[in-house]
Every structure is written in C-alpha cells, then in structure tokens.
Chain A
Amino acid sequence: MIGLTDAFAVCGIAMALCAGALSLRRFGRHKSFVLSPWVKGLLLALFIALLVPKTGASIPLAAFFRGFTGDLSITLLALSFWGLCHRLFDVLPVSKRELTALLGVVAATALLLYPTALGWGDWDAYRLGWGSWWFLLALLVLCGVSVWLGLYVLPALVALALLAWSFGVMESGNLWDYLLDPWLSAYALVFVFIKCLQSVFRRFVYRSSH
C-alpha cells in the first residue's frame, strides 16, 4: 500500500512530466493544436501510463524516474500545474515580471544552498531547513519585500511550501526540499544566465549605436 508522501511524489513527477511534454516548442507555438481534444486525450493517456505499475519491478514508470529525479519541490509542482492549466484551460500565465523575480530569487538561493550543502566550507545552509526561526524570519522578510514590490507569485509559492512542510506532505522533513529542487534551480540558473547575457548584449548594442 502506497503512503501519502510516496503517492504525492509519484503523482507530482507524472504531472510535471506531462507539463514538460506540453511545453515542448511544437505545442507551445500552436495554441489551437494544444487545445484540441486529442492532445488532451494523449496527455491523459501519458499521465495514466506514467502511473501504471511496470511489470517486473512492480512500480510505475513515474516511480522509476523518481530514483533519478528525487522528489520535486512544491514550487516546481505548483509552476508545472499552473503551466498545465494555462495550456489546457487558458488560465492566465505567470507574468514575465513575476517569473523573472521568482527565478532570480531561486537562482540566488541555489547558489547559497547547494555549494554549502555539498561541502563548500563547514557551514551547511541545509541545516536551517530542519526548523529555524531565523529561516522563517528571512522568508517572511522576502515575502514582505515581494508584496511591497507588487510581486505576489513568490509569496504565494512560499506560503504553499510552508503549508506543505507543516503538514508533512513530502518525504523530507526539511523545508528547503519544499521550496526548491535541483531541476528548478538549474532552470532558474540558466534563465538568469541568459537574461544577464541579453542585458549585456543590449547595453553593448546601445553603446555601439550611440
């Protein structure tokens, strides 16, 4: 019998994989194609296929992938779900400003968390995630500043992660695992890197033309 945390993780991976499949470039460019019933049917079939136990190993394909991906963070799951809703039900997408701010914070946080957790120095940022008032205060300040700047997606995702952590929805007892994961961090770092390159390129072009 599958436990709550395992069921949540396996379904989350299946959902994120479906969201990833839908965001493929070919689908993204042709909105009408995405909304066609057979694409929805295909997506449902993929979701079910990922959750059907594989013969022999007796675990679903999504659980098989879990061995490689680890459990996905609440933040990534929420963004994947939002992406799915956007493409399937025409829900408004996350605005560019909100997404840039969110991925910027994720990228900066990842640069602090992963090196220290993997042994860069003796201080380990991951330890804060077991339950630290200072960490909670930092998140509160981050949310406050975001709202002050008119950004609401980041505080909403932090709130979702905090709620999920409080109720132990995931296998991990560490808050960091609810806030971000290596896949979201890698995406954010690439996103920020490209944004920085674009910014430098624009400045270079601007100076050249003046």
Chain B
Amino acid sequence: MESRNRNLLFAGLVFIAFVAAGYKIFHRTPSSSFAVQTVKAISSSSKPFNSGQALRFEAQFVSSVPGKAVHAPSIVELRDGSLRAVWFSGSREGAGDVTIQTAVLSKGSQEWASESSLFDRIQLQRGLWRYVKKIGNPVIARATDGSLHLWMVNVSIGGWAGSAITWSRSDDEGATWSTPKRLVTSPFLNISTLVKAAPVAMTQGQTILPVYHEFITKFAEVLRIDSSGRAVDKVRIPGSHTSLQPVILASNGQQAQAFMRATQGGQVISSSTEDAGLTWAVTAPTAAPNPNSALAGAVLQDGSRWLALNPTSTGREKLALLKLDDPAIKEIVVEPPEQNKSLVSPLNIKDYAAVLGAELKAKGATEVQIQAYVASAKRQLCGDTQCAQEFSYPFLLQTRDGYLHLVYTWHRTRIKHVRFDLSLTPSNQVKAQ
C-alpha cells in the first residue's frame, strides 16, 4: 500500500511538472518585429552650429572629472529633447573603483552639466546579492514603454572574459534607478556575455540586445529581452568566431544587418537577417577596414544608415563617419582635428602632451585640470618615449530634431560629444573639424 502511494505520488509529480513546463512553453513570449522609427521632428536647438563648412558640427567634452580613465560612452535622448550620457570612469580600466558615470546635456544651453555617479561596485554587489569585482561598458537606451534601460558589464571572476550583464530601469528619465538585476545568458557560471552597442527596439515591448562572448573563443550573439527585462532567447551569429561587439541596423520590421569588430583580418565583419533576428546569415568581411576596434551605427529618420568607426587596419588614431549605401560619401573624418593632421603618429611624449593640452585649453580647461587629464592619458597610452592617440568606442544616436550625435572615448581621459547637422549633404572626404 505504501509502495503504491509512493508510485502514485511519483507519477503525479512527473505529470504535473511536464504539464507546467508545457504550459510555460505554450505561453512563451513569441518573437516580434523590429520597431520602425516613427518619431517626428521637434524644434531645433537655439545654439548655432559652426558655419562655413560643408558639414556643420559642434564638439564638446562630456566628462568633467580630471585624471580619470574613462571609456565606453553611450547616450539616450530624454523626453524634453536633452541628452543623457553614461560611461565608466575610474583610476584605470578594470579597477575596483570604476563607477558608471552620467551627465545631461541641456536642450537649451547645449552644455553638459557636471557628471555624477550612477552605480559603483558595492551598489551592484548589494543589489545582485553576489560578489562583484569590477564594472565595465554601460549601454543606455529607451524601451518601447518609455522607460530608460541601462545594461552594464560586470565581472566576479577573472578578466573581461568572465563578464556578465546587469541591467537596471528608470521611470524618471534617469534620476533614479531600480535595484540592478542580472541577465542569465550562459550555462557556464553565467560568464562571458558582454554588451557595447545600442539595442534595437522590437514590437510588443521586446528588445534585441547585440552582445558578444570572449571566453575561450569569441563570437557575436543577439539577445532577445522581453518587456519585463528578462532574457528569453539568444541567437549566435554563424561564422562570427573572430568577431565582437555587433551593431545592428534594422531596415524594416524583418530585415537588419549586423556589423562587427574584427579581431582578425582587419575588415569590418557583416551578417544579415530576414526574419527579425531569429536566424542570421553566415558572416562575411566588408570593404570597410577595422583595426580590431569597436564601431557604432544608426539608422536615421530618412532611412540612411551610418557607421562611426576607426577606418584603418591598425590603430585607433582616426575616427570617421561612414554613410552606407552612398558611394558619393567615402568617409567624414571626425578625429584627429584638421590642425593635427600633419602630425606623424606615434607622437613623442612632449608633442602628445602639447596636442592634448592645446585642445583641452581651447575647451576651457584650467592648467591644473589639463595636467591631470594629460597625466591620465599618458598613463594609459604612452610607452617610454612615444604615445598613440586614441579616439575609440563610438556611439551614434539621431535625436528627434534630426541632428546626429556621436560620443566617443577621447584619449581614454575624456568623453567627447560631436553634434552633426546632416541637412547639408557632404561630398567626398569632408572634414568635420
């Protein structure tokens, strides 16, 4: 009798478990389409652009604390038309004191306010209920429900290859943030999923987050996140075993192209999807060069597709915009500035300090601040005698007023923001500054 009851209990448990699991699979969030941009233009800024050039632009620094190692900025447009930027900052990349910083660009004055801290390691540790060793790349974006989402890389074991992604949500335009939560994306201790590029909004409140893997081997993946922020699917981009940091540019509800940083081969790697990211074509190299550095992309309101990248096969000393599908425009050089074009790289330490100092001074930095900024850059980018300039980790965003915004790491010591007016179509090789 006892044995019969036990058997019945066993059979009941197994039956209920399979029925419950079947119910969950049946009600699984179905895949949706890429959300097509429907934003309307709003009134433009009152502050005039630099004039007299084919491409109108203005550039300014975002970060405001001297002497820090800063990297990996991203931006989002707020409801009032201002911008919020996030990046990581600390004594050095990977240090325990690295924090996620933020600053807001006022819509009216078009000036960046002082930066403040959003998350540090201990805050993440308390929110996630686990040890956190270091923090890295933050990516900020607006979800289709209007809230802001912030994804950030953080590590408990080892180097960046041991990263996982943590996310938080804000319903008040970034003033306050929810308790951070972990995205579980890998069966092996949930390590080695990193984020760098902007997400793509989907219909039904879903988000496609381009991510990448670095442990043992490298590959690019696409993570599908439901409206509650949980990971519900992950698709590997086939043939991406030397690729990182995918950038997804959606053309319509079903079609998109992914562009990836190449760790080998020196050319931007590409793949495409015809079914809203459920399957991807095998990767292939493009004509655009890539020195194993991150790139950024954006699809503008007119449907044109732009990339921001280091358009060389080695080094990160040149940063440019590239308009895809338009052979008339080869590249729009953003960095280095026109006056520094003739400088032969790598620079000796004295010249490097002079170049940085001149630009910082022109942007209003004091002598003390300049010394701290230059010291930080030298610490990270200089050897015993020479320094390599670095303009890296771009992030692109078009705001509702039609302007294209680019933020990037400037010599690892400041975050820089450039605003472009694309109403004047530039011809070949137009210089931005």
Interface residues in chain A, defined as those with a beta carbon under 8 Å from any beta carbon in chain B: 2, 6, 9-10, 57-59, 63-71, 113-114, 117-120, 122-124, 126-127, 129-133, 136, 139-140, 143, 152, 155-156, 158-160, 162-163, 165-167, 171-177, 180-182
Q: List 5 A-B contacts (CB under 8 A).
A: A127-B234, A139-B18, A162-B17, A166-B17, A182-B187
Interchain CB contact under 8 A, A9 and B129: yes
Q: How far is the CB of B55 from chain A (nearest CB, A)?
A: 41
Q: At the interface, yes or no: B230 with Cβ under 8 Å from chain A?
A: yes
Name the contact of B129 in the complex, choosing from A59, A69, A127, A156 (C-beta under 8 A).
A59
Pair B20/A57 contact, Cβ less than 8 Å: no
B251 to chain A minimum Cβ distance, whole angstroms, is 24
Distance in Å from the Cβ of A1 to the closest Cβ of chain B?
A: 8
Residues B21 and A70 in contact, CB atoms below 8 Å apart? no
> Which chain A residue lies CB-closest to B25?
A131
Top 4 nearest A-B pairs by Cβ distance? A67-B131, A67-B156, A159-B17, A172-B184
Known: A122-B238, A126-B186, A166-B21. A173 touches B231 (CB 8 A): yes
**B49 an interface residue at 8 Å Cβ cutoff?**
no
B interface residues, Cβ below 8 angstroms from A: 10, 13-14, 16-18, 20-25, 28, 122, 125-126, 128-133, 156-157, 181-182, 184, 186-192, 213, 215-219, 230-236, 238-239, 241
Q: Which residue of B lies closest to A152 (CB)?
A: B10
Most buried by B among A120, A124, A143: A124
Known: A171-B184, A174-B184. A165 touches B130 (CB 8 A): no
Chain B contacts for A162, CB-based, 8 A = 17-18, 20-21
The reply to whether B186 and A117 form a contact with Cβ atoms under 8 Å apart is yes
Residues of chain B with a CB closer than 8 A to A119's CB: 213, 216-219, 241
| Contact yes or no, B234 A57, CB < 8 A | no
- Give Cα A129–Cα B241 distance, bound, in whole angstroms: 23
Nearest residue (CB) in B for A125 is: B187
Q: Could you say which of B18, B20, B189 contacts A182, with CB atoms under 8 Å apart? A: B189
- Tell whether A130 pairs with B230 under 8 Å between CB atoms, given A63-B131, A119-B213, A166-B17: no
B residues in contact with A114, CB < 8 Å: 187-188
Residue of A nearest to B157 (CB): A68
Contacts of A57 in B (CB 8 A): 122, 125-126, 131
Q: Residue B21 contacts which of A64, A113, A117, A165 (CB distance < 8 angstroms)?
A: A165
Report the Cα distance A64→B133, complex, angstroms: 11
User: Does the CB pair A124–B234 fall under 8 Å?
Assistant: yes
Whether A6 contacts B129 by the Cβ 8 Å rule is: yes
Q: In the complex, how many angstroms separate the beta carbon of A110 from the nearest chain B beta carbon?
A: 9
Would B21 and A118 count as touching, CB distance under 8 A?
Answer: no
Residues from chain A with Cβ under 8 Å of B235 in the complex:
127
B25→A118 contact, CB < 8 A = no
In angstroms, Cα B131 to Cα A58, docked, is 10
A159 touches B130 (CB 8 A): no
